[in-house]
Every structure is written in structure tokens, then in C-alpha cells.
Amino acid sequence: MLNKKISIVGGGPGGLTLARLLQLKGCEVKVYERDTDKNVRQQGATLDLHEESGLKALIAAGLLDDFKKHYRPDADKMRITDHNAVVHFDDHNNEIPIEQIGTSFRPEIDRGPFRDLLIASLEKDTIVWNSKFVSLQAKDEGWEIIFDNGDRVYSDLVIAADGANSKIRKYITDIAPVYSGLTIVEGNIYKAATNAPELWKLAKGGKIFALGHEKSIILSTKGDGSLSFYTGTKESEDWVKTSGINFENKDSVYDWFKESFADWGDQWHELFASDESYFVPRPQYHFPPDQQWESLSNLTMLGDAAHRMPPYAGEGVNMAMLDALELAEQLTATDFSDIKTAISKYERAMCQRAADITEVTLQSMENMHAKEALKFLVDTFRLVH
């Protein structure tokens, strides 16, 4: 990789972790991120890092001590409720202390502080902000990357870390994603202690998994005092376009919720009590577990760009960070032969690992939206504990 220009497109956890790992090996790396700057609000639920993947990459990046300054110790505590918000399992009653020595804990951290931690670990000016990807053009042995602000950048190696709706993936493979049958409506309530006080109290600083009538609501508290949530309902693939819901209008979303969750308790209506909120529909897709493609010598991908999947096993960020670790190891291995071989070894292992996780995730999603979903989840967690 000596004297090679490496470009990572996308500044999420996977792309930033890869940049950190490559810089530790002396590589020349730039990260191109569409956000205007690092102060853009990070949406979505908290991140749950696993010992064998996300934490493993974090340790390799030398960032575990910094991480421990920012993670939220009780954010992984969970309550499982039915559709009427009656608690059937309460993780808060589990008195086993979290082990903070070494790696044997599954900590949660908010997306904003985690991204800031990763950004701070990079060399100055590694990230080029306000760089929205438009296209790639083959040039010499690499690529010219074209951005919508008019910038053009040459790179010997491009790594797509641009998420579930990756625009770079098509340059690697035309394998299309498969609709899972489930659509999530993601929401966030700011100042939740004031704007959704009963649900905030019920969440108790952690998470709520509410299941019933083949639907789900997942709540996550965040360190900034907001409450993020995902509804899970079985919808047609084109539902977002055909439903007639204006997802930028709270009342329009609330009307849908009252109808779709009419067989749930009124407690959940508090999700729509405040105007300090946002809502985003997210049809859930996954790639075929058996996907494969011919590796290239100057382009690869990681994270959701390579293996998007529904968030029902908590593996998204963990797989992206493990991708970053394994790709960095292949690209900087001492027995390195050529870039294409390194990429091929990484992609083969990554696809197999992603296939296994996709199967587990889809089974989990199905179980959580089945008629006996509540019993399934409660039994699962009682076995674990």
C-alpha cells in the first residue's frame, strides 16, 4: 500500500474505523463524507458493540479506553413488554455487574459521541466534508471520484462505506437487495422526559422491546435526553409510496399509527404528543445470503453497502466494524501479494460471515413479528440470564 492513495466514501462507524486502522499502519487515507461538518445531528438508536466484532475492532484501533469514557453503562438494560406496556421481563432486576476490565461486556453508546470519538482519532484533515458522491470513472490503475460540488479526486483504491443505499455498490455487483416484508417507521422524541414522560420512565434509561399482534415497537433512551423508536409492521414493498402518509407531518404519521396500532394500548400514543420529533420510513431489505461477485483490484465495500440487513440482531454496526478490521488486516498483511488478492480474501470471508448473520437476523425478525413473539423473546432472554 506504499504510495497508494486510498479513498473511503462514507464517514459512518465502518468507514472511520477503517481509516483509523489503516493510518496506524502508515497508509495514506482520505474519508469523503456528504455531511457538511461533524456537528450534523446523529439520528437513530444507540449502538450495541459486541465483543467478537465491534469491540474487537475498537481494541485493534487502540480506542477502548477512550470508548469507556463515553459509553452509557445502563443503556443495554432491557424491558420486554406486551402491547399494553405490561412488563414481562426486566433486565434492570439482574444484579450481575457489568465487567469493565478487558472486553467482556456489551456496552451501548450514542451515535454522536461514538462518531466524535472516531473522528478525533484520525489525523488532521483526514475527513473531507460536504463531499456527496456522484460517480466513478476508471482512470489509470484506479478511479476518479466525482462529487456533486464539482470536486474530482484520483484514488488507487476506493472503499465504499456509503451505507444501505450505496451508490458505489453497482460498480462492484448488480445483485439487488430483497425486501423482507417488514417496514420500520423510525422516530425520535427530543426532551423525552418532558415530551413523553411515561414512556421515558418506563424505559428507565435503557431499552423497551414491545411486541404484540405481529407488530413491534422498540424504544431506546439516549444520553441527550431523547427517545428513539422503531415501529415494525408487515407492509407491501411499495407501502411508503402508496400509503398516502406524509412522513414529514406528525399528524399524518399519527393517523396511520392510531389505525395500524388500534389493538395496542393508548400508552404508546405518547410517541406523538410532541412536535419536537421526526419520523423516517425505512423498508427493510437484505441481500441474498449466497451473494458473490468477482473481486476488483481497486474497489471494494464494507458495512451496509455490502450486506444490509434489518436491525433485529444488533449486528449492523458490529459487522461494519469487523469488516473494517478484516479489510485493514488483509491490505496490510506481511504476506501481501497484490491488492486484488487481498480484497478477494477479505470479500470471501466477509460474504460468508454476512450470510450467517443475515440468516440469524431474518429468523429473529420473523420470530419478533409472529403470533407468539412475546413468549419467544421472553423465553430467549430468560435462557440467557
Residue 217 inside a domain? The answer is: yes
- The reply to whether 230 and 320 lie within a common domain is no
Cell 470471508 belongs to residue: 349
DSSP assignment of 154-191, as one string? Answer: EESEEEE---TT-SSGGGT--PPPEEEEEEEEEEEESS
Q: What is the pTM of this model?
A: 0.91
382 is known to lie in a ligand binding site: no
Nearest to 55 by CA among 360, 364, 324, 331: 324
Nearest to 184 by CA among 218, 231, 220, 234: 231
- The reply to whether 163 and 15 lie within a common domain is yes
Residue 94 inside a domain? The answer is: no
| Dihedral class, residue 229 (left if φ above 0, else alpha if ψ from -120 to 50, else beta) | beta
Lowest mean pLDDT among 23-27, 112-116, 181-185: 112-116
CA distances from 104 to 50, 93, 206, 335 (A): 9, 20, 19, 32
pLDDT over 90 (residue 75): no
Residue 374 inside a domain? The answer is: no
111 is known to lie in a ligand binding site: yes
Sign for the CA dihedral angle at 119, 12, 56, 97 comes to positive
Residue 96 inside a domain? The answer is: no
Distance between CA atoms of residues 212 and 261, nearest Å: 10
Mean pLDDT in the chain? 92
348 is known to lie in a ligand binding site: no
The tens digit of pLDDT for each residue in 172-199 reads: 999 999 999 999 999 999 999 999 999 9
Residue 14: CATH number of its domain? 3.50.50.60
DSSP annotation of 72 reads: B
Q: How far apart are the first and last CA of the chain?
A: 46
pLDDT over 50 (residue 100): no
Residue 201 inside a domain? The answer is: yes
Residue 44 inside a domain? The answer is: yes
pLDDT over 70 (residue 384): no
- The reply to whether 21 and 64 lie within a common domain is yes
- The reply to whether 198 and 114 lie within a common domain is no
User: Do 299 and 160 meet the contact criterion of CB atoms below 8 Å apart?
Assistant: yes
Say what the pLDDT of residue 45 is: 67
- The reply to whether 210 and 282 lie within a common domain is yes
Cell 472511520 belongs to residue: 16
- The reply to whether 186 and 155 lie within a common domain is no
Q: Domain ends where: 286, 304, 331?
A: 286
- The reply to whether 58 and 154 lie within a common domain is yes
Say what the pLDDT of residue 380 is: 87
User: Number of folded domains in the chain?
Assistant: 2
- The reply to whether 208 and 136 lie within a common domain is no
Amino acid at residue number 172: I
Q: Which residues pair with 141 in a beta bridge?
A: none
Residue 75 inside a domain? The answer is: no
User: How do beta strands 87-90 and 78-81 pair?
Assistant: antiparallel
Say what the pLDDT of residue 43 is: 67
48 is known to lie in a ligand binding site: yes
Residue 222: CATH number of its domain? 3.30.9.30
Residue 197 host element (H or E): helix 197-203
Q: Is 8 helix (H, G, I), strand (E, B) or coil?
A: strand
- The reply to whether 202 and 338 lie within a common domain is no
Residue 327 inside a domain? The answer is: yes
- The reply to whether 134 and 272 lie within a common domain is no
Give the three cell numbers for residue 253: 404519521
4, burial (CB in 10 Å: exposed 0-12, middle 13-18, buried 19+): middle
Q: Residue 237: give the domain boundaries.
A: 178-286
Q: Domain ends where: 231, 257, 286?
A: 286
Give the three cell numbers for residue 320: 461494519
- The reply to whether 158 and 261 lie within a common domain is no
- The reply to whether 350 and 238 lie within a common domain is no
Rg of the chain, C-alpha, whole Å = 21
Nearest to 313 by CA among 382, 364, 383: 364
Give the three cell numbers for residue 162: 456509503
User: Do 256 and 243 meet the contact criterion of CB atoms below 8 Å apart?
Assistant: yes
* Identity of the highest mean pLDDT range in 72-81, 112-121, 131-140, 275-284: 131-140
